[in-house]
Amino acid sequence: MDRTHAARTRTFLLVLAFVGFISLGLPDAMTGVAWPSVRDTFHLRQGAVGLVLVVSGIGYLISSFLSGQLTQAIGIGLLLAGSTGMVAAAMYGFAFAPLWLGFVLSALLHGLGSGAIDSGLNGYAAHHMSARHMIWLHACYCFGALIGPVLMSNVLARGHHYSVGYSITGSTMLLLAVLFLTTQRLWGETESTGPQIRVPLRGSGVLRHPIVWMQMAIYFLYTGLEVTFSQWTYTVLTESRAVSPETAGIAVGSYWGAIGVG
């Protein structure tokens, strides 16, 4: 009976982790689609989007570095609940910020929440899931990033304000935060499924290996190209190529979907 309960718990948490990564990707690719409308709302230049990306990236790095300590302090379930709640708050901030500064601060909140969700779920998956499940976990992020641009472009094409798209996403994230909160004890139940060997790793020691620096450089280059292409595609297609908002949104979503399939 205990084994059956444990198996069901692991299956449920696996599905919940997949849903978590889909929701993680959902808002990440929306900014590129919403940006022309955001730019016009706050009377900004096109390049101002760089500030949003940089601030969000800073928040992401900070929470990623701290996620291990936070997980040990409050547990993975509570970390996921709080971080998802932060992303939900950031989406509502994007939707209803009356000033440009508020939009930028929402980007910081988004980065802080997303970084903790990403590293928290990845850390959990590395200890409790197979390599096949880990691959599917990352594919789910891309599928979420596929949905986001399509959702926002359809909202804009129907004449609605970009706040509608962000509000829908924020509500989705809020529901997920509640789900993480109500299931936080289940995450702890699977933490001792088998013997684990813990090897202490210090940042100073890891950074002495050249292969680590090479991997970091490749990762920074790849993610930079990935985000840049996603960010600018919608604007270029709609403002320079006379492509309809729906088609441009599908193009951005298809880009992320192709990455997920690959």
* Structural domain boundaries in the chain: 2-189+204-261
Tell me the three state secondary structure of residue 161: coil
Q: Per mean pLDDT, which range of 3-17, 189-203, 207-221 is the poorest?
A: 189-203
Read off the pLDDT band of 207 (50, 70, 90): confident
Task: Judge whether residue 225 has pLDDT over 90.
Answer: no
DSSP string, 213-238: HHHHHHHHHHHHHHHHHHHHHHHHHH
225 burial (CB, 10 Å; 0-12 / 13-18 / 19+) is exposed
Task: Judge whether residue 152 has pLDDT over 60.
Answer: yes
138 burial (CB, 10 Å; 0-12 / 13-18 / 19+) is middle
| Number of Cβ atoms within 10 Å of the Cβ of 185 | 10
Angle, alpha carbons 186-188-193 (nearest 5°): 100
Which letter does DSSP use for residue 99 in this model? S
Identify whether the C-beta of residue 16 lies closer than 8 Å to the C-beta of residue 179: yes
Residues 86-100: tens digit of each pLDDT: 999 999 999 999 999
Q: Average pLDDT of 207-228?
A: 86
Task: Judge whether residue 13 has pLDDT over 50.
Answer: yes
Which CATH homologous superfamily contains domain 2-189+204-261? MFS general substrate transporter like domains (1.20.1250.20)
| Number of Cβ atoms within 10 Å of the Cβ of 63 | 23
Residues 55-78: tens digit of each pLDDT: 999 999 999 888 888 888 888 889
CA distance 208 to 87: 35
